[in-house]
Amino acid sequence: MRVALARVATAVTAMVALSFVVPLGLLNGQMARERALTAAERQASSLVPVLTVTTRPDDLTAAIGSIPAGAAGRLALYLPAGPVIGVPRAPAGRPAAVRERGRTSAVGIKGGTVLLRPVVLTGDRTAVIEVFVPEAELSRGVAKSWLVLALVALALVLVSVAMADRLAIRVVRASDRLAQAVTRVGRGDLSARIAPDGPAELRVAGEAFNDMVGRLAGLLAAEREGAADLSHRLRTPLTALRVNLSGLAEHPGDRARLTQSQEALGRLEEAVDEIIIAARRPGGGAVGCDAAEVVRERLRFWSALAEDQGREWGFVAPDGPAPVPVAKNDLAAAVDALLGNVFRHTPQGCGFRLTVHRGRNSTGLLFSDAGPGIDAPADALRRGASGAGSTGLGLDIARRLAEATGGSLKIGRSPLGGAQIEVWLRTSPKPAPRRSARRRAGA
């Protein structure tokens, strides 16, 4: 984590530094160029008073020699009529163009820039002063300024990395302590706790971890106590059944003891059923929900993902409620598992449709998609088996939920061209077989 934070700090600071360094460096280069051209224009202006007094070549040559640019051989004078004084460098035709426009102009040439300034003389005649500015003058100090700016940017990056590392130490230590505590809990040590430390988010996570472990330990203790209480409820019917069976062994024809034994066996069966139901639903409470409402609620979640993936989806439900004898959380988990299979095992853009069918004795949930379908339905229903690289538990969750109500799960071909998963939840108990009913009546 420290390395990751250092990289983030380096990237962010480098971007910020570059956003300032690059414009400043370019501005320094422009300022250096403007400064050199301004100096050249001042030197050209120093020759203007001489031109207003005389136009004799000898006097002008002496005046040019007294100017630093002229002494360096970088100044030339184009008279209206007469020879060019000095060393001209401007391209052919440019002095005449400047004379006609009457405006100062800078022309880039090999090795630098030529500044051409027109001067109006008596009689509407125009002379042109040329000052050559070498490239070294145009970029004087620019390299040094770039170096300084680069060093400043590097210093900023180093300081930010150092500060990020100091902050990361605190975060990493708190994260390591939390990871160690989680590892201890994963190994079964429910006494693991941590002292919340570090940033506010990690302190909140530490407090939540302590609360989670405390609740987990409490739930396990409550589960042990509940298992003991439920197991204790079997003692009474078992004791009665043992006593009655012992009496039957001594008196085989005692009809009263036979009736009592049957009643005890019935109470034992009811107690076992209650234990199974309570073990599967430790939260208790009434079992039952509206299937249409649960599906509609889960579709509100999955529809957003469907829109992101360009999937057309539909939902068909009866006008009224569709009650089913399963817990709302269990049904929601099965719906999520099957819809998750649609999103995982079909290409993006494949549509799907979910139908809630309310029958007389059962309610069906039909999941249809336009994907490739399921080649081996029997293998797909085996727990942990999957031909698409997943856990293979999604269909098993829905199957066990359906079978818990006396219903079933079927796999077929949907009208959309893909797979169709039918989850039938029985809403009324199955009628007893006739043979079993006659057998109980004869007993």
What does the pLDDT average to over 231-245? 53
Q: Look at residues 175, 170, 158 and name the one whose alpha carbon lies nearest to residue 9.
A: 158
What does the pLDDT average to over 361-371? 93
pLDDT value for 296: 92
Phi, psi of 96, rounded to the nearest 5 degrees = -65, -40
Q: Is 409 helix (H, G, I), strand (E, B) or coil?
A: strand
Tell me if 123 sits within 8 A of 135, measured CB to CB: no
pLDDT band at 368, cuts 50/70/90?
Answer: very high
The whole-angstrom separation of Cα 366 and Cα 443 is: 43
What does the pLDDT average to over 382-387? 52
pLDDT value for 145: 86
Reply yes or no on whether the pLDDT at 228 is more than 60: no
Torsion of CA 330, 332, 334, 336, to 10 degrees: -150
pLDDT value for 233: 47
Which of 78-82, 126-130, 239-243, 299-303 has the weakest average pLDDT? 239-243
**Mean pLDDT computed over every residue of the chain:** 79
Question: Which of the two residues, 259 and 172, has the higher pLDDT score?
Answer: 172
pLDDT band at 235, cuts 50/70/90?
Answer: very low
Reply yes or no on whether the pLDDT at 103 is more than 90: no
Reply yes or no on whether the pLDDT at 415 is more than 60: yes
Separation of CA 144 from chain center: 44
pLDDT band at 255, cuts 50/70/90?
Answer: low
Q: pTM here?
A: 0.38
The whole-angstrom separation of Cα 6 and Cα 64 is: 61
Which of 128-137, 187-196, 275-284 has the weakest average pLDDT? 275-284
Reply yes or no on whether the pLDDT at 262 is more than 80: no
Give the amino acid at 39. Answer: A
Proportion of the chain above pLDDT 90, given as a percent:
12
Contacts 24+ apart (CB under 8 A), 84-87: 85/57, 85/60, 85/61, 86/130, 87/132
Q: What domains, with CATH codes, occur in the chain?
A: 2-142 (3.30.450.160), 233-280 (no CATH), 289-426 (3.30.565.10)
pLDDT value for 257: 56
Q: What radius of gyration do the chain's Cα atoms show? A: 47
Q: Is 376 helix (H, G, I), strand (E, B) or coil?
A: coil
Tell me if 102 sits within 8 A of 118, measured CB to CB: yes
Question: Which of the two residues, 433 and 149, has the higher pLDDT score?
Answer: 149
DSSP state of 367: E
Tell me if 366 sits within 8 A of 422, measured CB to CB: yes
